[in-house]
């Protein structure tokens, strides 16, 4: 049997840049299974079909790695430096995406940890590492491993440290000796605080620890494919990719943001990637997938694909009344190969030009009349809808 003391395991993890580590068994997460089942039945997963997998699968680590005896859960913090005013013509990017793609960064460090463990216990170690890549209830595992507690925002909160971190797991046949650190789980609670619930711009929380994904800005800007409904366009505000509001207002994050805590490892810092905002003009000018991949390859923004990011950029331009982007929106509405991008760029172009008064109104009408002949039905339908609502 492979065995290692928890103190030794934590020392090995620290050598890999993994400063937070906890261990739990592979038993089923029964209470979390029932909570997930209720959430699914209420239809709160929006378009995320992968979250509709059988709850027994997501809540049972033993099914992921047969023969596993333990789940080693680690947390690694990303950039918590303060955010300044949003530059004109830019869209906000959620903190987790400021640096390099966390999946690769964390997986590499977990693999290094597995190698170090193997060096301690021998080649008999059987282990697999995961970084948001398998159907596991990671926050529930982190809670059971003693890292922290799940707050009203559904986020795992590490008391004294906050929520701005990634979780990763190493499932193995290793038996961990908990010795003197058998440790009591981290204790904490939200108390009477409701900040995350009340400050959410879209009121996406339908109860404590219950999120309606269809109203979440992160879902709308990252996971949702195709067109955004007009109400959804207004909902995303100036967020180009993701949203941090429920975390920014959490008191558990106050100190780390105030002190400008850097990421645990350089790859997850703003300097290593795209940072807190992007120029909407630059994004709207990306006309092909190859250019998109050259610009954002190796970052979390690959998740939304070129079409999704340009769709978001057009919407943010309209929401922020970025008049300087009129030409870029016009070009995207005429030239882009994606009907979704043309549709949203058309809507945004009309919104901005109509704000310019009578001269803008003429430009809007002229563009909409031409868009009626767009080969994509959704673009032509958008044009007809907008024309019907323009003042006579």
Domain C-terminal end among 120, 155, 180: 180
Is 132 marked active-site? Answer: yes
72: part of which helix (H) or strand (E)? strand 70-77
Alpha helices in 190-266 (DSSP H): 195-199, 217-218, 230-235, 245-248, 254-258
Q: Which residue has the tokens 């109400």?
A: 231
DSSP state of 158: B
* Number of domains forming the structure of the chain: 2
Domain C-terminal end among 180, 215, 244: 180
Confidence of residue 123 (pLDDT cuts 50, 70, 90): confident
Give residue-wise pLDDT tens across range 209-266.
999 999 999 999 999 999 999 999 999 999 999 999 999 999 999 999 999 999 999 9
Helix 289-296 crosses helix 305-319 at what angle (to 10 degrees)? Answer: 80
Domain C-terminal end among 125, 156, 180: 180
Alpha-carbon distance of 286 to 60, in angstroms, equals 42
The count of residues in the chain is 392
Catalytic one among 132, 244, 336, 374? 132
Phi/psi for 75 (5° steps) reads -125, 140
pTM of the model: 0.95
Q: Where in the sequence is the domain holding 370, given as residue range(s)?
A: 285-392
Closest CA to 93 of 306, 313, 267: 313
Residues 155 and 303 in one domain: no
Alpha-carbon distance of 46 to 64, in angstroms, equals 25
- The answer to whether position 262 is within a domain reads no
Burial 23-37 (b: 16+ CB within 10 A, else e): bbebeebeebbebbe
Give residue-wise pLDDT tens across range 267-289.
999 999 999 999 999 999 999 99
């Amino acid at each position: 049997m492979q065995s290692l003391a928890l103190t030794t395991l934590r020392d090995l993890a620290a050598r890999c840049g993994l400063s937070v580590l906890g261990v739990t068994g592979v038993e089923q997460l029964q209470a979390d299974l029932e909570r997930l089942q209720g959430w699914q039945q209420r239809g709160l997963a929006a378009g995320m079909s992968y979250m509709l997998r059988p709850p027994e699968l997501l809540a049972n680590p033993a099914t992921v790695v047969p023969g596993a005896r333990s789940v080693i859960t680690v947390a690694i913090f990303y950039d918590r430096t303060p955010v300044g005013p949003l530059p004109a013509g830019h869209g906000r990017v959620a903190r987790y995406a400021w640096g390099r793609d966390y999946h690769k960064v964390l997986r590499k460090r977990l693999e290094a940890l597995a190698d170090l463990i193997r060096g301690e216990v021998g080649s008999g170690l059987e282990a697999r590492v995961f970084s948001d890549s398998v159907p596991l209830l990671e926050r529930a595992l982190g809670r059971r491993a003693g890292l922290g507690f799940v707050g009203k925002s559904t986020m795992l909160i590490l008391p004294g440290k906050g929520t701005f971190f990634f979780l990763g797991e190493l499932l193995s046949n290793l038996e961990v000796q908990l010795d003197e650190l058998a440790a009591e789980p981290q204790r904490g609670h939200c108390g009477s605080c409701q900040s995350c619930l009340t400050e959410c711009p879209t009121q996406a929380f339908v109860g404590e620890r219950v999120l309606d994904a269809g109203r979440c800005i992160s879902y709308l800007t990252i996971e949702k494919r195709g067109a955004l409904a007009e109400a959804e366009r207004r909902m995303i505000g100036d967020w180009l990719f993701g949203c941090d509001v429920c975390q920014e207002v959490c008191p558990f994050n106050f100190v780390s943001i105030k002190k400008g805590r850097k990421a645990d490892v350089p790859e997850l810092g703003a300097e290593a990637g795209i940072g807190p905002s992007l120029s909407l003009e630059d994004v709207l000018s990306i006309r092909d997938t190859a250019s998109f991949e050259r610009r954002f390859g190796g970052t979390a923004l690959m998740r939304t694909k070129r079409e999704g990011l340009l769709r978001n950029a057009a919407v943010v331009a309209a929401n922020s009344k970025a008049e300087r982007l009129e030409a870029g929106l016009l070009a995207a509405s005429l030239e882009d190969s994606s009907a979704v991008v043309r549709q949203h760029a058309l809507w945004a172009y009309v919104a901005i030009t109509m704000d310019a008064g009578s001269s803008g109104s003429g430009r809007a009408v002229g563009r909409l009349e031409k868009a009626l002949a767009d080969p994509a039905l959704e673009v032509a339908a958008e044009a007809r809808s907008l024309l019907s609502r323009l003042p006579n």
